[in-house]
Amino acid sequence: MSSQSSAIRLVTNPSSVSPADPRYHLAAIVSSSEDPIISKDLNGTITSWNEAATRVFGYMPEEIIGSPILRLIPPELHHEEDEILRQLRAGERIEHFETVRLRKNGERFPVSLTISPVRDATGQVIGGSKILRDISDRKRMDESRFRLAAIVDSADDAIISKDLNGVIQTWNEGARRLFGYSTEEIVGRSILTLIPEHLRSEEDEILRKLRAGQRIDHYETVRMKKSGELFEVSVTISPIRNEKGNVTGASKIARDISDRKRMQRMLLESEKLAATGRMAAAIAHEINNPLESLMNLIFLARQNTPADGKAANYLNIAEQELERVSHIARQTLGYYRDDGRPVELHLHSLIENVLTVYNSRLIGSHITVETQFNDLQKILVCKGEMLQVFSNMIANAIDAMPGGGVLSISTRKVIGSDGDGIQIFIRDTGVGIKTEYLPKVFDPFFTTKGSLGTGIGLWVARQLLERRGGRITIASSTEAAKSGTALNIFLPYAPPALVRAAAQESGGHFSRAI
């Protein structure tokens, strides 16, 4: 290195050299630089100071040149200077070293330093030049971004970004909790990973709107967890723009609204039930007169029918069924509190009565009935309620076998931890129920029979059974040659509540017959 080039490095004041001297232009560059450029010797004494250094630190050249560089360094960081001088003496360059420095007024501010050794004509290091950049604005922006990133990451909602090809770019902790994927698993994959196959057409429309710069607010749809579980979400999607204002991607905020939707459906079902009750009340009022007329006609028919003939037996069953219709209407509509006295009976006799009522439908549908009854012990039940339960189930079985089949009904005594009782199996060889529908079959207004069903039969049956202390489960298959539905019912012999009610109504002298 020539002596002239080394001298050029130390010149920072253009007025100190002739305009014809090449060092004049270099000195002018140093003087007009936006960043402070400072030189020092190997003892850490400041030897040159440009105008930008005056602006940034507040010292005039005459105030600071000849002073130790430590004057610009906070006391707790003085040890940094020892390491810098060590590296300079070894001829090493230090690039983009971020630290803190002091202004004349004592204010601390963050800086990025590049420090280069200065050599003399013989190549010996005689000092160092420092180019310093005030990075306060950048640090503030970084801190703002870090705070924003922390807020995003700690949010309960899933916050996701993607590019305009639908590829996931960022993934917060809320998204991990909601969807089940870690950041490593999902970033770089298509957003379609989270969308059920039957809804993937939504993404094309979303991307179209994003490219047009449109925002999508509170869009309610369904998304898919890592486990495959589907759940309901509310999504807000906003375009992400670059510094030129061009849309480069999108941010999505997804909130799980499954609980809210479930509550809405429950309220809707409650409203349906209330509306059904009001409608049924009006209908019940209109059917009372025809029912009374039918009862009178049956009475007259009985007067002209031999008491020991089949016709008389059929008329008795018809009268019982009409009374049951009237009882169900009053009970369901809340006209009166059910005060039907529990009676002891053989359950198979009650089931046989129901089969007699449906006999013409069974024959017309080419359905064979197989029964196996082993309930020798009587059971304490409200007869009208149990007739309703078995009537609903047998009617459903008939509807499930429009082309014929087999209806199997069996009863048997069971002894278990829940108490002694009777287990009833009702099986059909009908079309069956799809697996995804099975959890819903006991919900009010859910039906697999289209316009043929009301969706309240099994719901009412379960209510009546559980109120009596019983339970019901269902299994079904739609597999060819194995299709059909099986109902498993358990009824305890005498729940305490019914025993107490029967005892009170009989003056406290009721004893269960065995």
CATH of the domain at 289: 1.10.287
- pLDDT tens digits, one per residue of 165-219: 999 999 988 899 999 999 999 999 999 999 999 999 988 888 888 888 888 888 8
Specify whether 160 is located in the same domain as 81: no
Specify whether 156 is located in the same domain as 215: yes
Instruction: Please give the structure tokens belonging to residue 208.
Output: 């179209």
Specify whether 309 is located in the same domain as 164: no
Contact 58, 72 (CB under 8 A): no
What single-letter DSSP state applies at residue 340? P
In a domain, 139, yes or no: no
* Cβ partners under 8 Å of residue 510, min gap 6: 499, 502, 503
Instruction: Please give the structure tokens belonging to residue 401.
Output: 């076998």
In a domain, 201, yes or no: yes
User: Strand runs (DSSP E) across 400-504, as ranges?
Assistant: 405-414, 421-428, 471-477, 484-492
In a domain, 282, yes or no: yes
* Cβ partners under 8 Å of residue 85, min gap 6: 42, 44, 128
Residues of the chain with pLDDT under 70: 1-32, 144, 148-151, 153-154, 266-289, 292-293, 327-340, 418, 450-455, 496-514
Specify whether 346 is located in the same domain as 268: no
Specify whether 239 is located in the same domain as 324: no
In a domain, 513, yes or no: no
Contact 457, 396 (CB under 8 A): yes
Largest CA distance in the chain: 144
CA dist., res. 370 & res. 79, Å (int): 97
In a domain, 275, yes or no: yes
Domain's final residue, options 106, 134, 162: 134
Specify whether 10 is located in the same domain as 106: yes
In a domain, 211, yes or no: yes
Specify whether 155 is located in the same domain as 130: no
pLDDT of the residue at 7: 35
Specify whether 184 is located in the same domain as 93: no
Question: How does DSSP assign 195-218, residue by residue?
Answer: S-GGGTHHHHHHHHHHHTT--EEE
Specify whether 210 is located in the same domain as 285: no
Domain's final residue, options 256, 281, 312: 256
Q: Which CATH number covers residue 247?
A: 3.30.450.20
Domain's final residue, options 221, 256, 291: 256
**With a threshold of 0.95, does the pTM exceed it?**
no
Helices (H), 3-108: 3-10, 22-32, 51-57, 61-64, 78-89
Give how many domains the chain has, as a whole number: 4
CA dist., res. 98 & res. 77, Å (int): 12
Strand (E) or helix (H) holding 232: strand 230-241
Strands 367-374 and 405-414: parallel
Specify whether 348 is located in the same domain as 485: yes
In a domain, 44, yes or no: yes
pLDDT of the residue at 268: 64
Name residue, tokens 């906070």.
74
CA dist., res. 426 & res. 443, Å (int): 20
Contact 426, 397 (CB under 8 A): yes
Assign 23 to helix, strand or coil. helix
Q: Which CATH number covers residue 440?
A: 3.30.565.10
Which residues is 194 bridged to in the sheet?
none
In a domain, 125, yes or no: yes
Specify whether 162 is located in the same domain as 204: yes
Domain that holds residue 490: 340-505
Specify whether 363 is located in the same domain as 490: yes
Q: Would you state the torsion angle of the CA atoms of residues 180, 181, 182, 183, taken in this order, to the nearest 10 degrees?
A: -130
pLDDT of the residue at 2: 33
